[in-house]
Structure 1
Amino acid sequence: MALDLDALYTDLHRHPELSFQETRTAAVIAGKLAELGLTAEEGVGRTGVVTTVENGDGPVVWLRADMDGLPVPEQTGLPYASTARGIDPAGNDVPVMHACGHDMHVTALLGALERLIATRGDWSGTVVAVFQPAEEYGAGSQAMIADRVLGRFPKPDIVLGQHVTPLPAGVIGVRPGTQMAASDGLTVVMHGRGGHGSRPHSTIDPVVMAAATVMRLQTVVSREVDPREVAVVTVGSIHAGLKNNIIPAEAKLELSLRYPDDAARERVMSKVERIVRAEAAASGAETEPTITVDHSLPPTINDHTATARVTAAFERAFGDGSVIDPGMFTGSEDVSWFAREAGVPLVFWFWGGVDPQTFADAVAGGTVERDIPTNHSPFFAPVMHPTIERGVENLVVAAREFLA
């Protein structure tokens, strides 16, 4: 019996799980693999799932899909919208949504495995399917590597992966070289001296200190980075205080930094640290701010030769104009750790999930930024068709390019 990919996708979308909590998702994957006659190795890197399809002599191709959701309240209005909730690492009860399309990634990889199994007579080699947890924390691939995924399963000759994105359905975006930016997640704690809200002169107000820091950080990219370079400094959250008449003792900022390479990383990080410490000093802080790097991701770099082969294979399969160079995405990914640790090429591409007419209308009206929800938006939801079909076909075409 063929997999019902529509039902699978809507089920996954309804039941997202936060990073390293993807136990139900892993069980669903394992069940579908069993339907295909495959053995699932669960619990790899805590909640990851890996399976192997061996089909004679030939290269080993790794196909990777991530599977975690995000703490986002879904507002798509879809009949299969998520109402799930979860507990985040800080112990907070939060809404959970597949706001980045990882449910589509899992669906496409399972569909591709089904297609490859059905066409065993047309290829030779080994396919390793890696269902990775915790991409949103930038920690899942390294957790799997620490759990010896590269030693427990056939080592790859190439790593392939894809990500659904707000391009028109049917369009693939891929480029050689740097496809996605490197990134760091920082937690900054500004230390003040708390007190009564009516006596601000007796305190060192970390709220004002944090506010000044947030505004000054906006000048890193606008005034200290060459306009020809790519860099992003985002303050994604700020937390301080519990009551309006109490000046708290500290304020916490969470930052997301993006850059194309290690040299840019060093420059931006040093500027951010300088500003944080200078604003604390300007506020008379008696304790230095605490700066913690929560995660660090390398740039996602596509191998030039392998990317040329995949691009040509896509164009043969889907026609001229089906593949575009989308430029470097300032988002980040942890898929490249697999290829880096194995010392093999990586090809990672994007595939469109927006109704083509909707996208064309937005382009014509100059409203793409307003009307086309992006990944991590509460309104993000790929159209199911032809997104599912193309996601499956992309992986099969790319894998077959390297399988004997």
Structure 2
Amino acid sequence: MLTHAPTLALRSLAAAAFLAFGAGAQAQPVASAQAPAIMSLVESMYPRLDTLYKDLHAHPELAFKETRTAAKLAAEMRAIGFEVTEKVGGTGVVALYRNGPGPVVMVRTDMDGLPMEEKTGLPYASQARTDWGGRDSFVAHSCGHDIHMASWLGTARALVALKDQWKGTLMFIGQPAEETVSGAKAMLADGLFTRFPKPDAAFALHTAPTPHGTVGYGIGISSSNSDALEIVFRGRGGHGSRPHTTIDPIVIAARFVTDVQTVVSREKDPAEFGVVTIGAIQGGTAGNIIPDTVTLRGTIRSYKPQVRDKLLDGVRRMAMAAATTSGAPEPVVKLVPGGEALVNDEAVVTRAATALKQALGAAHVVQTTAPSTGSEDFSAFINAGVPSMYFTIGVLDARDIAASAQPGGKPLARNHSPFFAPVPEPSIKTGVHAMTVAVLSALASK
């Protein structure tokens, strides 16, 4: 494990910063004399980024409700010198910085939090609450989008400070509703690539439960398809002491939760990735009342279209079978398409990975061997015809990761855990460095 990864990453990046922006012959190096200035720049901006990060962390907002967050990002980008347009696709932000003729390079950050309670105990932990689907809910940045936003702003500052080293147009977007895999589509539908320049390349990063100071990347398929399910099982309510006079939807729902897993274990090729997870069950008001309905919500993940189709069909069949077995009315089944599998562009990734390895050190930039099982609607921009790279940055202490792997070790708090707590400074600094290098590799590609 890279216990001292952040220090090594920053030193190696300072020493080799921007010496090579890509593998192509057209890439133009920056003199090594710039390295001390770059290091000074990152160090000088960090206190501002730290304050911003902790403010965003303490004030998360849910999908399409990111009004405070978007306003803060917009104000920061205007102060840097970007032309800013707000309310694109609802609460989205588009910021442009034109620096002569050259490629248009897009950098995406997501802005939304999750409807869950934070339990980290950090002094800047979120206490925010809001309405979520008609009920009161906590809100937390338990997926690291606050790290993304701080890195995004730091990258914008670094690139503008280095504007004499590149030509082209920066297109920085703050995307709403990534967690509901709907914000990218909303921005595209609102004219993202018609009202504004269509990028020649695009980048996005995401936190990962790996050692801070490290970067992970893949070529080709890098995330899963995502579909949401909502099923309402209908029964006939009554007194808990007389179940024979009712049709109990809780029993039906419980049967479905168990039976639907046979689609994964017995119908899908075991060599292919596919997951059906039920994340929420809502029904009933008291222990002695059998309710009329029970609602289940969940997620379906896959890589390949044929596996996706099999899982969707299986969910429908199993829901119908569970209801029919109990003599219940037909259930209401909603399967909502989400994000498509994300496919990284080989040329963009190869060029950026070469630059990243030279900047951070090859030991700290690792190509993954398998796609993520998570989903990401950054794929919508790729499917709109933009060659892109989506990569990860580690955000945890390597010592904690190593300790969790020992027998009896404390389980690691990963993304979407109420205890997920990135280490801010090395994570954000690595995010700024890595994204700046990646963007420069694309700006130097033409």
**TM-score scaled by length of structure 2:** 0.87
SS in 1 for 2:117: coil
Deviation at 1:196, TM superposition (A): 2.2
* 1:375 corresponding residue in structure 2: 415
- Give matches, 1:28-107, under 5 Å: 28-88=72-132, 90-107=133-150
Distance 1:373 1:251 in 2: 31
The one-character-per-residue Cα deviations of 1:45-84 (angstroms, maximum 9, x if unpaired) are 1111110011111111110000100011111111111111
Q: How many residues are paired up?
A: 399
Q: Helix, strand or coil for the counterpart of 1:294? A: strand
Change (3 A) 1:246 1:336: same
1:385 aligns with 2:425: yes
Q: Give the C-alpha shift of residue 362 in structure 1.
A: 2.9
Residue type of the partner of 1:390? Answer: T
TM superposition shift of 1:305: 2.1
Q: Match of 2:155, SS?
A: helix
**1:19 counterpart (53, 63, 67):** 63
Question: After superposition, what is the alpha-carbon deviation per residue over 1:255-311, rounded to whole angstroms, capped at 9, x for unaligned?
Answer: 2110002111001111121111111111111x2111112342100111122222221
Q: In 2, Cα distance between the equivalents of 1:26 and 1:35? A: 14
Question: Offset of 1:107 from its aligned partner?
Answer: 0.5
Instruction: Look up the match of 1:290.
Output: 332
1:16-38 CA distance string (max 9 Å, x none):
01111111101111121122122
Task: Give the Cα–Cα distance (whole angstroms) in 2 for the partners of residues 323 and 219 of structure 1.
Answer: 39
- The answer to whether residue 214 in structure 2 is matched with residue 171 in structure 1 is yes
Of 376, 389, 406, which residue of structure 2 is paired with 1:347? Answer: 389
Output the amino acid matched with 2:330: E
State the AA in 1 paired with 2:428: I
- The answer to whether the aligner puts 1:395 opposite 2:435 as a matched pair is yes
Does residue 138 (structure 1) correspond to residue 202 (structure 2)? The answer is no
Secondary structure in 2 matching 1:190? strand
In 2, the alpha carbon distance for the partners of 1:208 and 1:198 equals 15
Task: Say whether 1:230 aligns with 2:273.
Answer: yes
Q: Which amino acid letter does the alignment assign opposite residue 353 of structure 1? A: V
Distance 2:156 2:114 in 1: 26
3-state DSSP of counterpart to 2:83:
coil
**Counterpart amino acid of 1:360?**
A
Contact kept in structure 1, 2:83 and 2:97, CA below 8 Å? no
TM-score (norm 1): 0.96
Instruction: Name the amino acid aligned to 1:301.
Output: V
Equivalent position to 1:311, from 349, 353, 362: 353
Percent identical among aligned pairs is 45
Superposed CA deviations along residues 191-234 of structure 1, whole A, max 9, x for unmatched, are: 11222222211211111000111111222222322221111110
Find the residue that maps to 1:34 and give its secondary structure: helix
Q: Tell which deviates more after alignment, 315-324 or 218-227.
A: 218-227
What does residue 224 of structure 2 align with?
A: 181
Cα contact 1:139–1:295 (8 A) shared by 2: no
| 1:112 alignment counterpart | 155
Deviation at 1:312, TM superposition (A): 1.3
Asked whether the equivalents of residues 45 and 146 of structure 1 are also in contact (C-alpha less than 8 Å), the reply is yes
Instruction: Provide the C-alpha distance between the structure 2 equivalents of 1:194 and 1:165, rounded to a whole number of angstroms.
Output: 45
Q: Which runs of 5+ in 1 are unaligned?
A: none
- How do residues 239-388 of structure 1 correspond to structure 2 at under 5 angstroms? 239-285=282-328, 287-326=329-368, 327-341=370-384, 343-363=385-405, 365=406, 370-388=410-428
- TM-superposition CA deviations, 1:152-189 (whole Å, max 9, x none): 11111112111011011111111111111111001011
RMSD value over aligned CA atoms? 1.4
Shift of 1:14: 0.6
Question: Are the aligned partners of 2:414 and 2:420 in contact in 1 as well (CA < 8 Å)?
Answer: yes
